[in-house]
Amino acid sequence: MTRLYLDHNATSPMKPAVKQAMIDALDLGNPSSVHKSGRLAKAAMEQARAELCQAIDAPENACTFTGGGTEAINMALWGMVKRDKDPVRHLLVSAIEHDAMINTAQAIEQAGLAKLEFIPVDGEGLVDGVWLLARAKELQSEGVTFLASIMLANNETGVVQDIEALAPMVFTHGGFLLVDAAQAIGKMPLSFNRLQADLMIVVAHKFAGPKGVGALMIKPGLVLAPLMQGGGQEMGLRPGTQNIAAIVAMGAAAKAIDLGQAHALQALRDDIEDGLGSVPDIKIWSKRVPRLGNTLCFSSPGFAADVQVMALDLEGIEVSSGSACSSGKVKKSHVLQAMGADSEQAGSAIRVSLGWDTPDTAPQDFLKAWKKAHARASKTHAA
């Protein structure tokens, strides 16, 4: 059976050129060594850093390579609450952040280092700017140093936040801004300089790079407390010998970003969306606001998400019911619940996410398989 992979927001398979770049870098030496092998490895690593920073319009001295997005989140949040100068004592985290962000913020609150509050969102998944501005003013008046964490593009619905409009609400009241751009990179224009965030996270396997490598972009001059002590690599923030092969591949993936191709995926996504229009009670999430062109999240009440995922898998089509970072569990989306979804809607939501290897026939293949499964489920319920 030829399989159709429509779960790129979970992980996007490596492009052939990226995989080859990783293979070619496997024999590189230790970039901390001063001999020729070490210098070659260091040069390859710094070239990858430059390629990544060029792709996201960031200064090269802002980039710290990490072991992935979760590590970058921990480095950012713990680094800000534990730093000696002006440590953060209040975390404002949007209600639709990734579990890794929410769980880390909760751990910090449990440790007594900072208080956590969730920034509400509306029914389309957009951050409530009125609430954010009012809370930022209150925290400033109380003399509390705070950090706001707002993801640029949501991994489940694809909704894109207007960071450039929200950022001044944070900055003018003395706050810091952390932007999770893991899903945005490679799918939409991305500029660290333009967003002016203090911290920004990108992850390689979300844009056709390898798993297990990411980067935390840190505004030059901002000092974080390191999570670990060691040999001083990555400006002392991420000690330990760097994963050169993965870093080189991340640079190659950044260099291979094709926003024209990403934009073309929207037409395929829209074809799927249009094809679902005739199905009663279908709910398309975040349809009326800016979304990633590759992402479609919809609910079909009465047709449980896990049943949909399994039925499609049997037909050779791979989708998900939301985030893939929950040990394979299928659970109701906290993102949709924060947007006002009822239990039936949240429990029947699946995500379709297209990518660089999605064929033009994907809409018709998906719709044929999904409608077949939906019809079968409807007959079962009727019986």
- Clarify whether 325 is annotated catalytic: yes
Catalytic residue among 53, 63, 297, 325: 325
Residue 341's Cβ-count burial label (10 Å; 0-12, 13-18, 19+) is buried
Do the beta carbons of residue 319 and residue 7 sit within 8 Å? yes
| CA atoms of 206 and 17, how far apart (whole Å) | 16
- Sheet with strand 283-284: strands edge to edge: 283-284, 295-299, 349-353
Q: Is 114 helix (H, G, I), strand (E, B) or coil?
A: coil
Residue among 150, 151, 104 at smallest CA distance from 131: 150
Helices 16-25, 244-255: inter-axial angle, 10-degree rounding = 150
Give the side-chain half-sphere CA count within 13 A for 184: 24
Pairing of strands 214-218, 199-203: antiparallel
Distance from the first to the final alpha carbon of the chain:
31
Do the beta carbons of residue 118 and residue 105 sit within 8 Å? no
| CA atoms of 238 and 228, how far apart (whole Å) | 7
- Residues marked active site are found at 325
